[in-house]
Amino acid sequence: MWVPAAGVPRRLTLSAFCGAGHVCALRCGAARWKDVLARNGRGLSDFHPQLSPSQGLGDSPSWLSRCRLESRHYITSPRLAETVVRLLWGRHDACRLFLECNPGPGILTQALLERGARVIALESDRTFIPHLESLGKNLGGKLDVVHCDFFKLDPRNHGVVKPPSLTSQVLFQNLGIEALPWTKGIPLKVVGIFPTKNERKTLWKLLHDIYSCTSIYRYGRVELNLFVNEKECKKLMANPQNPHLYQALSVLWQVACEIELLHMEPWSSFDIYTQNGQLEKPKCTESLGEIQQKLCFIRLTPRRNLFTENLTAVNYDVFFHMLKQCFMKRNAKLIDHLHSLSPVDAMDILKQTRKKEKTKITNMYPRDFKRLFETIECSKGYTCKWLYDDFMEDIVI
């Protein structure tokens, strides 16, 4: 079985030769419908932003003001904080290192510290940092506070990186966090509230990080424990039994991670930090649908057996493309998609995957898509195994 080595993502070793994000030069072989060589693509894991030399982890840019910050939801209820800690402690594992995203007033931070956890508080709003630092006094180094936004780690653009954006490599090195092999335990647990702005793009970025073993996943199978929008949670956990919610995003997350719904909490339980510097309850000016929605606390644990000989951090982008193309015509039959996806004999693929000619895309479970991909990947006698269109490269669905 192919296993990524911690800290050395194999995808990056080939990017200089094959062109970021494309597959024509990779082992599996691929050809575009336009018969154009894959060049100058925008691969999500091939940019190397640099940390500003004038700023360390504790420095903050002078131009950052509160009025430019997004409004965020925070845990301010001790009851809810205790519920979250209880759920995090429910599993019998050795990891007690938590990376908390935007802890704000530090209610959850304090509850974790009282349980004996080591906490790294990544706070994007400097207003909260002095109070958070005060929580760590006399605790023997169990709390580190860093001006950083977890959801802006490793930005996918060129240029100098300034807080609250940071590179995970610099952050983890400064904190003394060491990598664990993918097949070993959990190196750390992330806990927080998923941002409502650009939620879909953030989910896709995290997926690319997992499958390419980059960003925080250079360090092993980092576990995410996050509050997410109820609607988005249902999509992540959807399967053929929920065809109206089932999509490529559902398949990719379920193939990559074990997903557990741990708790549901009304929006009214979370306070909002506004531009005037005050914490307040959500107002009823929001739509009825938003008021009735809940935030779902879910656990996303990367699977030990995610990577195989035929699905690796080198060719995962082909798997992404296959799923995007399949769900673009979600009601079509699998055999019709096979003709446009690959030159490999479609009937032979159906036979090997034990699928019928009438099988539709929405009838296939995540494990079926992984088997389909691996079956095509290991097909012998074909120099080219995949066909794909240029326009699919940057589609986010």
HEC readout, 233-246: HHHHCCCCCCCCCC
The DSSP code sequence of 24-87 is TTSTT--EETT-----S---TT----EE-TT--TT---TT--GGGSPPEEEE--HHHHHHHHHH
Q: Is the pLDDT assigned to residue 290 strictly greater than 60?
A: no
* Two tokens, residue 124: 């994007």
* Two tokens, residue 371: 């088997």
The closest alpha carbon to 2, from 373, 319, 309, 310, belongs to 309
Q: How does residue 268 score in pLDDT terms, banded at 50, 70 and 90?
A: confident
Average confidence (pLDDT) over 271-295? 59
* Two tokens, residue 320: 């992404």
Write the pLDDT tens digit of every residue in 13-33: 333 333 333 333 334 455 544
Whose tokens are 């504790």? That residue is 58
Q: How far is CA 280 from the centre of its chain?
A: 29
Mean pLDDT of the chain: 80
The closest alpha carbon to 277, from 127, 95, 141, belongs to 127
pLDDT at site 47: 34
Q: Is the pLDDT assigned to residue 360 strictly greater than 70?
A: yes
Q: How does residue 70 score in pLDDT terms, banded at 50, 70 and 90?
A: low
Write the pLDDT tens digit of every residue in 206-215: 999 999 999 9
Q: How does residue 293 score in pLDDT terms, banded at 50, 70 and 90?
A: confident
pLDDT at site 140: 72
Q: Is the pLDDT assigned to residue 247 strictly greater than 90?
A: yes
Distance CA 100, CA 117 (A): 11
In this structure, how many other beta carbons lie within 10 angstroms of the beta carbon of residue 281? 12
- Proportion of the chain above pLDDT 70, given as a percent: 74
The closest alpha carbon to 219, from 171, 176, 177, belongs to 177
pLDDT at site 358: 94
The closest alpha carbon to 332, from 343, 320, 341, 321, belongs to 341
**Which residues, in sequence order, are CB contacts of 249 under 8 Å at separation 6+?**
200, 203, 204, 207, 235, 236, 397
Higher pLDDT, 267 or 25: 267
Average confidence (pLDDT) over 34-57? 37
- Proportion of the chain above pLDDT 90, given as a percent: 62
The residue type of 267 is W
Write the pLDDT tens digit of every residue in 169-201: 999 999 999 999 999 999 999 999 998 888 889
Distance CA 308, CA 318 (A): 14
Q: How many H helices and E strands in the chain?
A: 13, 14
* Two tokens, residue 200: 């879909």
Are residues 186 and 299 in contact, defined by beta-carbon separation less than 8 angstroms?
A: no
